[in-house]
Chains A and B, each alone.
Chain A
Amino acid sequence: MKTIRIIPRLDIKGPNLVKGIHLEGLRVLGKPSDFAKYYYEQGADELMFMDVVASLYERNSLHDIISETAKKIFIPITVGGGLRSISDIKEVLRVGADKVCLNTAAIKNPQLIRDASRMFGSSTIVVAIEAIKESEGKYLAYTDNGREYTGIDVFEWAQKVDELGAGEIVITSVDREGTGQGFDIDLITKIRSLVSIPVIAHGGAGKSQDIVNLLKQESADAIMVSSLFHYHFIKENESKASTLEGNVEFLKQKRNFHTFEPSSINDSKKLLIENNIKVRF
């Protein structure tokens, strides 16, 4: 049996770690480096940094976060958000990313996937697909954190991404993202049946059991989680939770927590092992 990777996802806005619901309504949670260090120590298998605003003038703070992290954290780091060209990719790899994650630019110009995977190796190029359910069995791909409609069928796009030479796909259920209602197992299982590259499932994990439910059916090669682990970190480290942008009251109320049973990576992995799912421990 294969070993499944558990990948905490850190959404970044400027210097801050943020979290939204359905990829929107972002709240500041704290300093990315505090969360990254904690996840590394807790046995995260990789880290994903996503620049959710990705405006050009803020790019430098993302670069600082990556290079600071890569100096102390010896697990793979994937960076996404706003990467539009070969030179953008080169730049984030140069400051310490191991892989890059493309979405908007790849949909606008699919050739970028082919060019980038030839130049940097397939295994360096991850493509994110943001899926919104249209009707039963029908999903459309969106870009810009679920904001921009493309009209592209998710399943056709996933196959094309594979053919173009990407090394991995992150499939996000925008409908489930940030809600804690569990993964969209149908969506993820179908994507994985259609492609030959590893599939990372994202969006909806509210408790560790949700991860077990997905992986029992061998529906994914890795899972990406944010709220579930972030809320655990905040509970454990209240003093490190943000005081930067006035969301302290929100954090104290833990308003977002009610649909979640926050868990550490360690505890999530224990539950997976109890359910005969292989993880690094």
Chain B
Amino acid sequence: MDYKGGISIKLKHSIQFDYSKIGLMLIIVSFLFCLKSSVVVASNIITVDSGESLQKIIDEAAPNTTIVLNQGEYEGPITINHAINLTTELDVKVTLTNKSKEAAVTINAPHVSIKNITVRDVDIKEEPTILILSDGAEIANVQVLTDNTGIHINGANKGKINDTTISSATEEISQLYKKNGIQIYNSANWKLDNITIRNMEDGIYLERVDTISIKNSHVDGSRYGFHFMFVTNGQIENNEGSANVTGAMIMASSQIQVTKNKFVKQVENLNSQGILLYDTKNSTVSNNEIDGNRVGLYIEESSDVTFDSNMIKNNFVGLQWINSSDNTFQNNNVIGNVINIQSVGVADNHINKNFWDNASGIDIDEDGYSEVSYSINPLFYGLIKKQPPFQIFFNSPGMSFLESIYITNPELWMRDDKPKMSVELSEDMKSTSSNKFDSIFISTILLLVSFLIIKRTRRVLR
């Protein structure tokens, strides 16, 4: 007992005595730890020159290594089988060229990132240019030049692609041979931001995807800009589509939010539309600008979809609404279309408070809405659906006469019970318009300044 007590006393003394030394030691140990960890980080960065074999360096790199490519041309294909980051220094131009029949880049391991490079696929083949088969992949600031599928994702979750451009390597390639820009199959939790896709088949094609957001992206010159098949919980926000066959094609999907997008000038194909919804449920289409398309908004066999505050203008046909019920269509502006709306089989929708530029209304109680409802006679559309050549009778006196006497089952017609008397822009639309006014204002000032400079220069010359 004494012996133990003696030790305890000695320890107590030594602890009290060495406080300052222990503190110093702790600082030294902490410093060494920091040093050690910084050494680890430093040893996980490998710099590569363009002459070296990239595949060999990737294979030999430890997990989580950052491989920094120096400026120059590199040769593909490469396959990544463990977590690495492939990147470059800022403002360095790196091109990975692939002349093989394989994918230029195959990602087979979780948590791989590829940043700041150009990937160029030379051959035309079935394999995509970038193939992602694992979770947690990140593609950022990558330019893909290809006549194959740009990025193919299959069975991979929780990834993101941002600031990336995908375009056809051959400008004049026929639509028949084009492939999709980005295609995602059977995957979940993807975030796509600031993607630009040009001249491909479908810009972004999704099939059996759960939870995805596509934001701030642009697709043009392709077949379908954003093509959703069997997608649940998708978000398309603040994107633009122009000169495609169809801007957004949403099919057999549910819980899709299509908001603040701009789909313009989809007119070159016989079947062009701004947005097409087929067999879509529980979704929202709001604050979109659908301008100058062959058909602005096409809706078929869809239910529980809310269309709110969209601007549907200058299309040949504003809306085509076929066999869809239990949808809500409110606060939209339908302006300047050759035909505002064609509909058939549209009973049981909730349509009110929209502005129709060809509706005649009376606002007795001055609440901004007409007391006279706006109805759409389905006769003409039903006729041309069965016999397309009858389109020649559009707006003909004979057709108007037939429509005036065809009043069978008017309760089944599409009807806005309380059409709006004037155009009212939503806050989002107002901000877009104010931006336009800003640019007009700046342009006017620039024009005035130019005139002044020219005038002064003339005076000086005289």
Q: Do A and B belong to a common assembly? A: no
